[in-house]
Amino acid sequence: MGPKAKHVLLRLYNRSWQSGTTPPTWRTAVVIPIIKKGKKASDLASYRPISLTSTFSKTMERMVNGRLYQNMEDSGLFDENQAGFRRHRSTVDQLVLFTQSVINA
Alpha-carbon gap, residue 10 to 61, rounded angstroms: 13
Q: pTM of the entire structure? A: 0.66
Domain boundaries, the chain: 3-78
* Model confidence pLDDT, tens digit, residues 76-103: 999 888 888 888 888 888 899 899 999 9
Say whether pLDDT at 73 is over 90.
yes
Average pLDDT, rounded, for the chain: 92
Say whether pLDDT at 36 is over 90.
yes
Kindly state the DSSP code that residue 50 receives in the 8-state scheme. Answer: E
Half-sphere exposure of 17 (CA within 13 A, CB side): 17
